[in-house]
Structure 1
Amino acid sequence: MIIEGLSPALQQLIKEDAVGQLRKPQGLMATLGNEEGALKLDSTDQAALNDIVRKIAHVKKLAQPSGEEASNPAFLRALLGDVMMVGVAMGMTSEEPITHLVWFTELLQQAGLRPAEHLLVMTLPGSYLDRFAEAQQAPSLPLQLDGGTGTGGRMSAPTTRVFLLPAALSLTRLSEEPGQLRTVLYRAWDEYDLALATEQPADHPFVQLAAALSDASLDGACRLLLSMPEGWQVLVPWIEQLMEESLGKGNKGIVVFSEQPLNRQASVSETGATLHVQVATGTAASQEGNAFVLSQPSLASQEPRNRLAALVASFLGWQLSMALYGYLQHITFAGQPAVENYKARARVLRDQEDPLQVTREWAARASDTDPSSGIPYSLFAPEGVEIQASPASTFARILQRTVTASSGYLSLGYLDLTINGELPTHSISVLDTALRSVGNELLGLPVKLRQAPAAYHSTEQSEMDGPPFLVSLRVLARDHEASILGSYTDTFLRAQAVSTWQAMMEQGRPCFLLIIDGSIDDALEPLQRFFSDVVAHLRRP
């Protein structure tokens, strides 16, 4: 049956009852989505731990720990006596939470506090983290309320304890009335309206969105430039992780960006395989060209419970769009197989005296010194890249060549800058401006500014195995802030930076590692100079 006025993708979703398949344990949708078996702290940089320690001390009106006081049992008891660390891992092989819990456990032991009373673990049965909890006799809760293991981390909201626990805690600040979370979830389920998606899919906004993305795609790949209502921009990183970690496989997928102005006069700028999505609180206007308006009136509410319900409904809606896009493009949206490569490499590097030793004899490198700060830095390129006179000229040359490598995929190009470690807040806007001047203005390409290691758990699957023809620049400072409490080194952070760079190159992706001889705080001037020189090289005829 052909329904007049509907796009090919929407026609297919209706004809094959794709939404209805979500409720069935067998069939193509079940196969593509089978995950069976499978203060926020998501950094292995000591600076992140220090920031949390300082915040706890400030709230308790304690002196900032330093010197002998940092190991004084009485001080540690005052600081940590009512603190609990919740370790979460939604993968069997996630190891970062264990490094944080080991650090915290040692502090508790110094303070004479019983670790089992200050630790809570939520993870998969039999995972690395589950084994750690058992060894420490720490309480462990299954992520799913039914004790199952079929929910991927990027889909942990709103149906697992990863979301439900903080949501419930936040509601206790509004009222002591019982049943608040249940009411919020019922309201969100009504707004999500799976019945409408099943019975009248052409009328459901998130089914329409999935079809629009599929219609805009090229060989299964699409760029999504997303504009959110005021106050909801924080949802973009979650949508980015959901789409890229789920769908970034076999050169297919959806790459998500915040909406950004692209220079349409740039020689490599293309509008194909791109969908500009505006999430609006009003009624959706008619859809034209490569633009789509997603109407979500509930996002306009300022009442806390209503906003939480709107958030839950958004989670469910975007997950529906993701699954339907995977269905249309035959992408297995369960699992993230590509990242296991870098995890295995990182384990080997952590056992070495210095995870950076592989770079010492690396032939494809270009070095320079920032004239203002006197800080040296080196760019390590994939083997076979023609090294120019400087890091900036080498990088500019590969940009010029890569973005024109295949006319069929120009619209899929983007530029990624990944900072390993905790970037000072004031530096983010400066680097974002520098990155946009290269990508948006000179090349007409969207850009990503990522912070690792968090980014490696959200979008690395897509960078390694999703839509191709990106160029990625990874930045690592040699020196890192020492931990002000306990023992925590930068070994894990260094190993992650090198292993992800190696894994990207093995996948044939143009990935560069820029190592700066100094701290991340000192890196801003060399990075500004680097991008300024890249711009100068790109502007040359």
Structure 2
Amino acid sequence: MEAVRARLQQAHGTPPRFLIWAGMGGSIEDKVLYHAAGLLKGGPAFYALDSTDPGKLKAIIHDMQTRSGRPLPEILRSTLVIGMAMGMTSYEPVVNLQKLAKLFDDNGVASEANFLYMTLDGSLLDQFAGPRGYTRVPLQPDQRNSTAGRHSSPLTRGSLYPLALANNDLAAWIAGTFLSPEEVAAALRLGAFLHQQGVAGRDQITLLLPKSWSAAGVWTKQDFEESLGKSEALGLKIVIGERVRPRHYQRADDPAQHRVFLAIQRKGEAHPEADGITTLRHDGYPLAVATFDAGAPLSRYMQFIHYVVFAIGYLRDMNFVTQPGVELYKSIAAEIFEEARQNGGIEHTHAWSKIPRDKEPWEGVVSISPKRYAALLSRSKARYAELTFFGDLRYTPEGQALRACLDRAANRVFRMPRKMPVDIYEGPAMNHSYHEMIIGHGGCFSTVLLSVKQSRFAAAGYDPDYHMAQFLATKTALERRHRDVVALTIQDTSEKSLETLDNFFREVAALG
């Protein structure tokens, strides 16, 4: 990192003030975790670019301008861009690096000192970045690139670089991963316990994290589900972001009770769900507790979880590195994108014509009526659900409002009346995270949403066609695997449209 800082100083006379990390799934979820946990506060302002929605990059650049109050060329000179893709065919980081490179070029800023990347020889990312003279860095300290993205944290350069830029104590971080034999044995026992619970049909692991590590939910979810979600016979769903609410669960002795609870504790730290954990024990729900020392770094938890995942993969005789569901969706997205290019737009593809639509949008906003959606749901035998919006749920006020709308929908339609856990996240980020479980194992009622009015970022030459192709590919991949999926479009993400969407799910709930 000292060399990176020196290169930027020599080229532009500035230290790195902003860091844009372009990656998907395992190539970025750890960085999102570190940012949310406050580990990146001492470094450049961090931005996760894990979407091909032009609005995402547009919102990032807007935030950088707002925070700094400086002209764009000056901002770009002090911006470090790191692209990471540990798959040969990962296209999203390529798209985003292309658009960022155009911004640098059009603003007269030489970008060679600002960009570096981690990938495999000959990958799509390598084919783009190498000829532009960008610095390629081996992922691993042993100069190799054999680690899968989701297994690259907490010890590869892809995980250590942002921590180093924020002046974290890397020696202590690395030392934290050296589990004792007793800790390794505890992780393997926990893996065996969760495996057996899954065999018994209790395959929904409700994760209860301490406040200091509360941001680790999505990272943990991906490590489990993308690694272990490939089997039709056995799966493990990690349920995150829920408070303990027994009224949302079947009784502990009910054969339809599919949950097992995993509480993570740190000595000396009051657990936010301490009372709930006591209630779960009293009511007889299956529960495991893993306790870490008060001073244990986050890296210790991450390494412990890797051992748990390994144990389950071993017991299930499963290759926990491959991702066939992700590869299926990616290949379909490429086909749809090419068809759109040939036919003059995504709206002229076969997949777009297959989106279910009523004759008129419901209340002028939603593509189908609540009655039609409720009928599809009533026929489903799914045991959990997902509500995934292809667009921003984090950076913009509209995205944050939409996230709140989906949270309310999850409670009204799934959690309370059907006692089903719900995944709520952005696409395509979730496609490269936990969607391996949804495509590979199944058992989910999927709702994928898209705004018809799409954002464009003219300054970067960024249009939404590939992003929309990913939405269509998600629907198509699920259908090919005979999964329950409903694709909804809404007109836009205005306040009026979100109010209508809220009413849509309220009516679905009323229909039962």
Aligned partner of 2:9 in structure 1 is: none
Question: In 2 relative to 1, CA 361–122 (structure 1 residues): closer, same or farther, beyond 3 Å?
Answer: closer
Q: 1:296 aligns with which of 291, 294, 311?
A: 291
Deviation at 1:223, TM superposition (A): 1.0
Query: Relative to structure 1, is the Cα distance of residues 254 and 513 closer, same or farther in structure 2, using a 3 angstrom cutoff?
Result: same
State the 1:238 CA deviation. 0.2
Distance 1:85 1:521 in 2: 34
Residue of structure 2 aligned with 1:395, choices 356, 373, 392: 373
Q: Does residue 334 of structure 1 match 2:342?
A: no
Partner residue of 1:3?
A: none
Task: Render the CA deviation track for 1:492-518: whole Å, top value 9, x for unaligned.
Answer: 110000011101100000111101223
Question: 1:330-379 deviations in whole A, cap 9, x for unaligned?
Answer: 222111012112211111222212224335643854355444xxx33324
2:27 is aligned to none
Return the match for 2:447 from 473, 488, 502: 473
Q: TM-score, normalised on structure 1?
A: 0.76
Pair 146,217 (structure 1): closer, same or farther in 2 beyond 3 Å: same
| Residue 278 (str. 1) matches residue 286 (str. 2) | no
Aligned 8 A contact 1:479 1:520 in 2: no
AA aligned to 1:490 is P
Counterpart Cα distance in 1 of 2:345 and 2:49:
25
Q: Structure 1 residues 523 and 87 mapped into 2: Cα distance closer, same or farther (>3 Å)?
A: farther
Distance 1:41 1:367 in 2: 37
| Aligned residue among 349, 354, 369 for 1:362 | 354
CA distance in 2: counterparts of 1:360 and 1:132, whole angstroms: 29
Q: Does 1:257 align with 2:265?
A: no
Pick closer, same or farther for the CA change 1:245–1:509 going to 2, 3 Å: same
Amino acid at match of 1:143: L
Aligned residues of 2:336 and 2:351 also touching (Cα < 8 A) = no
> Are 1:416 and 2:386 an aligned pair?
yes
For residue 121 of structure 1, report the CA deviation from its aligned partner: 0.8
- 2:482 is aligned with 1:491: no
* Matches of 1:107 and 1:265, distance apart in 2: 53
The AA in structure 2 aligned to 1:402 is: S
Instruction: Show the counterpart of 1:227.
Output: 208
SS in 1 for 2:158: helix
Q: Per-residue deviation at 1:165?
A: 0.5
Of 8, 28, 44, the residue aligned with 2:52 is 44
SS at match of 2:455: coil
Distance 1:377 1:359 in 2: 18
Aligned partner of 2:490 among 516, 528, 534: 516
5 Å-filtered alignment, 1:60-71, equals: 60-62=68-70
SS at 1:449 equivalent: strand
1:326 CA drift (Å): 1.2
Q: Residue in 2 aligned with 1:314?
A: 301
Change (3 A) 1:332 1:360: closer
Contact 2:119/2:145 (8 A) holds in 1: no
> For the structure 1 residues 275 and 60, does the alpha-carbon distance in structure 2 shift closer, same or farther, using more than 3 Å as the test?
same
- Aligned-residue CA RMSD (Å): 2.6
Larger CA Rg, structure 1 vs 2: 1
CA distance in structure 1 between the aligned counterparts of 2:256 and 2:188, rounded to whole angstroms: 23
Instruction: Tell me: CA distance 1:516–1:189, structure 2 relative to 1, closer, same or farther (3 Å).
Output: closer
Distance 1:227 1:319 in 2: 17
Amino acid at match of 1:450: Y
Residue 126 to residue 325, structure 1, CA distance change in 2 (3 Å): same
Long gaps (5+) in structure 1? 1-38, 63-74, 173-179, 301-305, 380-390, 404-411
After superposition, give the CA deviation of every residue in 1:418-438 in whole Å (9 maximum; x if it has no partner).
100013213322320221111
Give the TM-score taking structure 2 as reference length.
Answer: 0.80
What residue in structure 2 maps to residue 175 of structure 1? none
Q: CA deviation at 1:148?
A: 2.2
1:486: how far off?
2.1
Q: Hey, what's the Cα distance between the residues in 2 that align with 1:393 and 1:349?
A: 30
Partner of 2:162: 166
Residue identity in the other structure for 1:102: Q
- CA 521–110 in structure 1, closer or farther in 2 if over 3 Å, else same: farther
Alpha carbons of 1:272 and 1:264: their partners in 2 closer, same or farther (altered >3 Å)? Answer: closer
Cα pair distance change 1:360/1:97, threshold 3 Å: closer
Name the aligned partner's letter for residue 319 of structure 1. Answer: H
Equivalents in 2 of 1:131, 1:220: separation in Å?
45
Task: Please name the residue that 1:124 is paired with.
Answer: 120
Pairing 1:67-78 to 2, within 5 Å after superposition: 75-78=71-74
Which residue identity is paired with 1:483?
F
Once residues 265 and 239 of structure 1 are traced to their aligned partners in structure 2, the CA distance between those partners, rounded to angstroms, is 24
- Secondary structure of 2:346 counterpart: coil
Greater Cα offset, 314-323 or 207-216: 207-216
- Distance between the aligned counterparts of 2:177 and 2:248, measured in 1? 41
Structure 2: how far apart are the matches of 1:150 and 1:290? 40
- 1:397 & 1:331 partners in 2: Cα distance? 37
d(CA) in 2 for partners of 1:184, 1:505:
43
Percent identical among aligned pairs is 27
- Deviation digits for residues 370-427 of structure 1 (CA, Å, limit 9, x no counterpart): 44xxx33324xxxxxxxxxxx3222222322223xxxxxxxx7101111000132133
Paired residue for 1:10? none
Q: CA deviation at 1:282?
A: 4.1
Task: Tell me the number of residue pairs that the alignment of Structure 1 and Structure 2 aligns.
Answer: 441
Match runs of 1:52-63 below 5 Å: 52-62=60-70
Decide whether aligned partners of structure 1 residues 356 and 442 sit closer, same or farther in structure 2, where only a CA change above 3 A counts.
farther
User: Structure 2: how far apart are the matches of 1:338 and 1:115?
Assistant: 35
Q: CA shift at 1:463, angstroms?
A: 0.8
